Amino acid sequence: MLFVCNLYIGIWNFTKMFGITYTTPNSTFSNVVIETPDIGSPIFTYLIIAVVVIAILVVVLYYLRQMLWQRHHERHEAFEKIVLLVTLPKEAAEADNKGGEGLQKIQETIGTAETFFSSIAGLKASRGFKAWWLGREDHFAFEIVAKEGLVYFYIVTPRKLQDFIEQQLHAQFSGANIEEVEDYNIFHPQGVVVGTFLSYKKMSALPIKTYRKLDSDPLNAITNSLSKVPVGDGAAIQYVVRSAKSDWRKRGVKIASAMQQGKKFKEAARASGGMGAFFDKLPIGKGKKNDGPPKEHRLTPLEEEMVKSIEEKSSKLGLDVGIRIVVSSQDEAQAKRILDGIVGAYYQYNSPQYGNTISKKAPSHNKLVRDFIYRNFDEKRSFVANVEEFASLFHFPLLSSETPNIKWLVARKAPAPTDVPKEGLLLGYVKYRGEETKIHIKQADRRRHFYIIGRSGSGKTVLMENMVVQDIKDGKGVGIIDPHGEFVEYVLEHIPKERAEDVIVFDPSDYERPMGLNMLEFEGEDQKDMAVQEMVDIFYKLFPPEMIGPMFEHVMRNAMLTLMSDPENPGTLAEIPRILTDPDYQKYWVAKVTDPVVRAYWEKEVAKTSDFHKSEMFGYLTSKVGRFVENTAMRNIIGQQRSGFNIRKAMDEKKILLMNLSKGKTGDVNAKLLGLILVSKIQMAALARADTPEEQRHDFYLYIDEFQNFITPSIATILSEARKYKLNLIMAHQYMGQLIENGKTEIRDAILGNAGTIASYRIGVEDAEVLEKEFKPVFNAYDLVNADKYTAYVKLLIDNTASKPFNMCVYPPQKGDRKLAEAIKQLSRLKNARPRDIVEAEILERSALGETGAKQGPPTGESLGR
């Protein structure tokens, strides 16, 4: 329109050049001579045709350009946009929103958003023929979306400006997490869609109320209206933004200047540009007589404030802004109520008399939805807001926000260490600010042990599964103690065929072919005392200390030492009841004892004890051991003279030892006993490696899930010394309280003091207070409590030095081969386990269970065809 008006002025001046004029009396302008072309002149005819042709061309060009704009944005530019989900951490200690100090804090935080938007407003606006013909391609969309019961904050950016927007966002909001996501959908297939445009009612030079003039965070009213959107419905507020050209600022300066010179606002606005300036240029009325000098208008105090606000708005960078609100609901009335509630939240910005107001614009429904989906910039419905105004209209949620259901970043993120190894065992990856870094750990650092803690279902086992599968494929020796069974089954499905012969599966629930496990089996006299002490500690672990006591320990120690007096033909736990109750059997073993202290126990102490006291003392011990002997499955395991596998040999030959102690199949106490025995035997086997030069010892990686059930206080020895013998522990459990017994924290302290690498998944508040000291200052207790699923906070040992903590994602589990797993299990049970009938016959004869007469001594394995 302005182009056609200026064309008219140009033609008028052109006709004057040719002297084509006429005069006519004019009642209004009686003293003015109006020049007009001669209608019969050929030149006039040509001019009329030229004007019509030009007007037609302008209209055609305008609609052609509009069509090309839409086609270009929807078919090309829309696919070059990236949708970014922005979440910020919400700390436990929220800002105080009451009083002057709270308001000042809010304004300072929103001021950070203003700085962020200044970087966008400072971008050079696209110019040139391409920008005019196809439209600008440098606009962003800032969106607040209510869907699935949560309120999300998105930024949609052109791909070419993605790095810019992320860098600027991180510069102002260091804790923000930016995640590239697929576009969201708020529309319901059978729903009703309503919406509107919002725009300034008056010219853009006039400002609205900003956060500096409001008493609270203006975003609260907007997000509160969105938080009320029911699950199943959806709503979105879309701000389409681009840097504004400088023309708007010049006009604001002109208006303020004209008002200061004594003009009213309307006169100043008319003189500043636009259609008012055009009519002032017309020659009509140029000769009107003036009755005298114009009266100078004196500004009122509010008008002076108005001038000041216009100047302040013009002093800051500006943004071209378009606002769309779209609501989708299954009920039309409800959709309209939601829309009215959102629109009503914008009335707080209105300054009706001496400022600007925000009003609804009646939309074309199809155009509104189409422009919303493609995020088109609609110049007809846009306005200019400076960065302070836009920061008031949109900013990311503050810590003091009381709006429920906002999608917060539940825990902060941190980058991977700069010196993270490029080789070694792959643990996971860190995705930070668009860059993905793989996390490896060196073999030497693994010898300082790996400690994992986290609530059930947080991802601990997935991390261990990934680690152990890599170890197996790398040809390393591994052991797994699994109290649930799924861990072992997963690993079996991922064992390469070439390592099938290395697998030993210890499964107590295999009743047909039980595998022996004898705690009283030992190699060398130096292991005898250690085995006995470990067994005593195991019983303290299984039963309350007040139920054991020093007398139980005294009798138990001597009974076990007696049954261990023949290294070539050792006794078993299943024979303890018999050695206490059968005098002949007792004499048989005492005759083999060489330790004078143990002989004195039987020949002097027991022999001089009355039968009443013997029955009372021995009966108490038998009741504890009998709990396991009386269980058929357990008796067939712990009653075998020789274990089904040699742990020292398995470690030295890099075997794969899988111990499936599923509580559901074996029983809780039984699983604990077997696990404790296994860990103790592994510890003894590791310490026995002292007879081998260190450089010839192969690393053996022992994975223990729910490890608190399978350790005794000697774990401190393993953690501090076993690394020398290359027994590397990977321990996982759920919470610290599992490591504290009777108020004693020795086990917990030993683990935290000796574990080289710590991985913390989501944990409880009490544990977070303890581990916070390990992860400060990068992460605090709030972060540890709110860690994402399958995400761990890690303090990694790098070249024997603790790294700066970071958060790591774990790769998901992979599908395995079940048929191969079954075949490997069958191969292992045939090689390492024995038939049930043979085992039971041997145990019955050795322990004389069910017989009235006593045997002179235990049978040998050969007598039963072993």
DSSP assignment of 762-781: S--HHHHHHHHHHHTTT--H
Residues 6-45 pLDDT 10s: 555 555 454 454 444 444 444 444 444 445 555 556 776 7
Q: Inform me whether the pLDDT recorded for 524 exceeds 80.
A: no
Mean pLDDT for the stretch of residues 735-741 = 88
The answer to which of 46-50, 260-264, 487-491, 502-506 has the lowest mean pLDDT is 46-50
Tell me the sheet residues that pair with 795: 758
CB 151 within 8 A of CB 405: yes
How many whole angstroms from its chain centre is CA 112?
25
Task: Check residue 166 and give its pLDDT.
Answer: 92
Structure token digits, residue 853? 């007469």
How many whole angstroms from its chain centre is CA 752?
25
Q: Inform me whether the pLDDT recorded for 259 exceeds 80.
A: yes
Residues 842-861 pLDDT 10s: 888 876 644 544 444 454 44
How far apart CA 257 and CA 263 sit, in angstroms, is 9
Region of 147 please: left (phi>0), alpha (psi -120 to 50) or beta.
beta
| Residue-by-residue DSSP string for 553-601 | HHHHHHHHHHHTS-TTS---GGGHHHHHH-HHHHHHHHTT---HHHHHI
Extract the runs of DSSP E, i.e. beta strands, from 362-499. Answer: 383-386, 425-432, 435-441, 450-453, 477-482
Pairing status of strand 192-200 against strand 81-87: unpaired
CB 175 within 8 A of CB 88: yes
How far apart CA 725 and CA 719 sit, in angstroms, is 11
How far apart CA 488 and CA 655 sit, in angstroms, is 15
CB 747 within 8 A of CB 776: no
Cis peptide before 294 (omega within 30 of 0): no
How far apart CA 758 and CA 775 sit, in angstroms, is 10
Q: What is the DSSP letter of 231?
A: B
Of residues 137 and 238, more confidence is placed in: 238
Query: CA dihedral defined by 453, 454, 456, 457, rounded to 10 degrees?
Result: -120
Of 204, 163, 205, 156, the closest CA to residue 182 belongs to 156
Residues 472-509 pLDDT 10s: 999 999 999 999 989 999 999 999 999 999 999 999 99
Of 643, 633, 673, the closest CA to residue 836 belongs to 633
How far apart CA 669 and CA 680 sit, in angstroms, is 16
Task: Check residue 409 and give its pLDDT.
Answer: 85
Task: Check residue 367 and give its pLDDT.
Answer: 85
Mean pLDDT score of the chain: 83
How far apart CA 657 and CA 73 sit, in angstroms, is 62
Q: Inform me whether the pLDDT recorded for 793 exceeds 80.
A: yes
Residues 534-576 pLDDT 10s: 888 888 888 877 677 788 888 888 999 999 998 888 889 888 8
Task: Check residue 29 and give its pLDDT.
Answer: 42
How far apart CA 684 and CA 615 sit, in angstroms, is 34
By CB atoms closer than 10 A (0-12, 13-18, 19+), residue 38 is: middle
How far apart CA 476 and CA 497 sit, in angstroms, is 15
Of residues 146 and 95, more confidence is placed in: 146
Residues 119-145 pLDDT 10s: 999 998 766 555 555 567 788 999 999
Of 156, 166, 174, the closest CA to residue 83 belongs to 156
CB 142 within 8 A of CB 394: yes
- The model carries a pTM of 0.74
Q: What φ, ψ does residue 798 adopt, rounded to 5°?
A: -125, 115
User: Whats the size of the chain, residue-wise?
Assistant: 866
Of 174, 165, 82, the closest CA to residue 413 belongs to 174
Distances (CA, A) of 551 to 554, 578, 593: 5, 19, 21
The answer to which of 301-315, 388-402, 714-728 has the lowest mean pLDDT is 714-728
CB 701 within 8 A of CB 478: yes
Distances (CA, A) of 85 to 75, 181, 240, 809: 23, 7, 16, 18
Mean pLDDT for the stretch of residues 100-117 = 86
Residues 282-320 pLDDT 10s: 454 444 445 555 566 677 888 888 889 999 999 999 999
How many whole angstroms from its chain centre is CA 812?
14
Tell me the sheet residues that pair with 288: none
Tell me the sheet residues that pair with 248: none
pLDDT band at 111 (very low <50, low <70, confident <90, very high): very high
Of 848, 842, 847, the closest CA to residue 864 belongs to 842
Q: Which runs of consecutive H residues, i.e. helices, occur in 722-835? A: 746-754, 765-775, 781-785, 818-832
